[in-house]
């Protein structure tokens, strides 16, 4: 008798998810799906608000990466006002963004992913958590805490508080400058942050070397890749052009301006998930599906501007022997290399003499009826697009979040893992863990992805070919 397995909620991801696995009469997995079901409705309830309120409102989409929404939103507002951002404000915003990367990537590695990496997929769930990591490797755990604290401190110094910083950036400028004393304090701590990320890279590389066959087989598949690059085609997180490459790393489209995203990106809808599936328009769905985030960014860039991260990136590229690195578990390695880049880049920004210059520009009148703001959030490309009337009242809002771009890839990863590890006849703890671990590679942010709809613990349901639920494993969820 065929079955469906549901895992709910998926733990140690941001937010909640549900996975159903359908098996055929022979007990083999025929299809697995990750469902996202929660409704908040940001795009609609923002209509009628004033555009300059958006940097504060949209950061409430997500408590994990409020800075990303804050900055993407601010950039969209800049475009509406049509003013150039003064250089010091640009530096401060980028510094805030680096603080966000440091804290978010550290959170994912130390709190969410390291229990799998350090303790193994089959470890007793009683110890396979952040407390277990503290027990197994207290030094590493403390480093994780320290890195997060530093990143959060950068955000707090520039935006007043750690979560939902208020108006750190307002259209065309920053509300708050960086004092000489705060700059000194951050500079004193930054070398240690760089060093700790180097160690974190070493830990993940060590894991990858010891688990070579798992790394190359676990949820490994070709896809397109999308992300921002700077003028030289190097890794860029704050501002640049969008690069979209095929599975062979050849361009699907010449690098394009963020404002042109609608020409190239379409969104597919499935009736079983509230989260849409973006794709490259020319190829259609699913041929034009792509991945975003750390793995995509390191695959598509032509280099990294900072020396330590560049050296690690070269080794990373060698893993793909000229082609793309496709294994989902390599997201973890790419993520710590990006953390190292963010730390090095923060150091450069803190050394820039313009960073303490305070210069303000008064918010101008509405110049353009629409504005697009794009940044690379820790999880991937984040797009905010607003349309306003002549008084600055919002007429339409479109948001495409990082986790949305990876929706197809997460489903693909779940499918690969379910087919490899799930035996249709029974549910085991290790099996559930592997399905969860596949999703966790993408560090999905379900608050972001459900900004429109909302909620996602993971249920695993075993479903027959007729769709009847035969078995169900639900943890938490209430």
Partner 1 sequence: MPRTGAFTADGKPKVAVYKFSSCDGCQLAILNLEDQLLDLVGAIEVAYFVEARRRELPPPYAIGLVEGSVSTPEEEERIHKIRRDCDFLVTIGACATSGGIQALRNWADVEEFTRYVYAYPEYIKALDTATPIAAHVFVDFELRGCPVNRFQILELVAATLAGRKPAIPTYSLCIECKRRGVSCRLVSAGKPCLGPVTQAGCGALCPAYNRACYGCFGPMELPNVDSLGERFIGLGYSPAEITRMLRSFNGYVEPFKQASDRYAQRD
Residue keyed to tokens 């948001």 = 399
Q: In angstroms, rounded to a whole number, what is the distance separating the alpha carbons of residues 448 and 14?
A: 9
395 part of the interface to partner 1, by CB under 8 A: no
Nearest Cα neighbor of 380 from 351, 359, 400 is 400
What value, to the nearest 5°, has the Cα angle with vertex 173 and ends 170 and 175? 60
Cβ 457 vs Cβ 424: under 8 Å: no
Task: Answer whether 258's CB lies under 8 Å from 226's CB.
Answer: no
In this chain, which stretch among 45-53, 278-286, 295-303, 363-371 interacts with partner 1, using CB under 8 A? 45-53
Stretch that binds partner 1, among 157-165, 244-252, 309-317, 407-415 (CB under 8 A): 157-165
Q: Please check whether residue 139 is in contact with residue 110, taking contact to mean a CB–CB distance below 8 angstroms.
A: no
Taking CB under 8 A as the criterion, the residue among 24, 27, 31, 49 binding partner 1 is: 49
In terms of Cα–Cα distance, which of 175, 153, 173 is closest to 162? Answer: 153
> Does residue 43 bind partner 1 (CB under 8 A)?
yes
Report CA 196 to chain centroid distance, whole Å.
21
Q: Is 129 in the site for partner 1 (CB under 8 A)?
A: yes
Of 244 and 441, the one with the shorter C-beta distance to partner 1 is 441
Q: Which one of residues 27, 137, 149, 361 is an interface residue with partner 1 (CB under 8 A)?
A: 149
- Binding test (CB under 8 A) with partner 1, winner from 61, 91, 92, 438: 61
| Element at 19 (helix H, strand E) | strand 18-23
Does residue 179 bind partner 1 (CB under 8 A)?
A: no
CB of 269 to partner 1, least distance (A): 4
List the beta bridge partners of residue 291: 225
Residue 294 in contact with residue 405, Cβ under 8 Å?
no
Nearest to 291 by CA among 239, 248, 342, 246: 246
CB of 63 to partner 1, least distance (A): 2
- The yes or no reply on residue 281 touching partner 1 (CB under 8 A) is no
Piece of the chain touching partner 1 by CB under 8 A; list 56-64, 252-260, 297-305, 413-421: 56-64
Count the residues of the shown chain that bind partner 1, applying the rule CB under 8 A.
66
Residues in 405-444 that interact with partner 1 by CB under 8 A = 433
Pairing of strands 241-245, 224-229: antiparallel
Q: How far is the CB of 26 from partner 1 (least distance, A)?
A: 30
Q: Which residues are at the interface with partner 1 (CB under 8 A)?
A: 9, 11-16, 37-45, 49-50, 56-57, 60-64, 66, 107, 111, 125-126, 128-131, 134, 145, 148-149, 152, 160-164, 166-167, 175-176, 269, 271-272, 274, 276, 433, 445, 447, 450, 452-455, 457, 475-478
């Amino acid at each position: 008798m065929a079955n469906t397995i549901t895992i709910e909620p998926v733990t140690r991801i941001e937010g909640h998810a549900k996975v159903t696995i359908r098996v055929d009469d022979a007990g083999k997995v025929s299809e697995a799906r990750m469902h996202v079901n929660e409704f908040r409705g940001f795009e609609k309830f923002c209509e009628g608000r004033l555009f300059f309120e958006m940097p504060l409102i949209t950061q409430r989409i997500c408590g994990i990466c409020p800075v990303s929404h804050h900055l993407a939103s601010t950039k969209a507002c800049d475009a509406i006002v049509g003013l150039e951002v003064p250089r010091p404000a640009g530096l401060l915003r980028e510094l805030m963004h680096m603080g966000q990367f440091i804290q978010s990537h550290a959170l994912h590695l130390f709190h969410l992913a390291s229990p799998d990496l350090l303790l193994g997929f089959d470890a007793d769930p009683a110890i396979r958590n952040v407390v277990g990591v503290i027990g197994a490797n207290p030094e590493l755990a403390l480093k994780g805490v320290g890195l997060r604290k530093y990143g959060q401190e950068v955000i707090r110094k520039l935006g007043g508080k750690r979560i939902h910083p208020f108006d750190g950036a307002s259209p065309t400028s920053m509300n708050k400058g960086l004092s000489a004393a705060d700059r000194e304090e951050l500079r004193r701590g930054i070398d240690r942050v760089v060093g700790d990320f180097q160690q974190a890279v070493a830990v993940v590389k060590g894991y990858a070397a010891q688990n070579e066959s798992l790394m190359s087989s676990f949820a490994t598949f070709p896809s397109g890749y999308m992300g921002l690059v700077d003028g030289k085609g190097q890794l860029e997180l704050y501002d640049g052009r969008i690069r979209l490459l095929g599975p062979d790393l050849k361009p699907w489209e010449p690098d394009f301006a963020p404002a042109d995203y609608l020409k190239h990106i379409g969104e597919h809808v499935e009736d079983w998930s509230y989260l849409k599936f973006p794709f490259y328009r020319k190829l259609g769905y699913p041929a034009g599906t792509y991945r975003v985030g750390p793995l995509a960014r390191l695959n598509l860039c032509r280099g990294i501007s900072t020396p330590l991260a560049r050296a690690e990136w070269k080794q990373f590229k060698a893993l793909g022997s000229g082609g793309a690195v496709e294994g989902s578990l390599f997201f973890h390695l790419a993520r710590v290399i990006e953390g190292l880049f963010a730390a090095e880049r923060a150091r450069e920004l803190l050394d820039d003499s313009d960073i303490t210059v305070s210069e303000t520009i008064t918010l101008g009148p509405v110049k353009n009826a629409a504005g697009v703001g794009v940044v690379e959030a820790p999880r991937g490309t984040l797009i905010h697009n607003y349309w306003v009337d002549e008084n600055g009242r919002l007429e339409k809002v479109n948001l495409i979040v990082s986790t949305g771009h990876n929706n197809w890839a997460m489903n693909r990863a779940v499918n690969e893992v379910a087919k490899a590890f799930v035996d249709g006849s029974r549910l085991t703890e290790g099996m559930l863990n592997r399905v969860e671990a596949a999703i966790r590679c993408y560090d999905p942010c379900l608050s972001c992805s459900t900004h429109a709809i909302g909620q996602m613990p993971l249920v695993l349901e075993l479903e027959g070919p007729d769709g009847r639920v035969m078995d169900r494993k639900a943890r938490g969820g209430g």
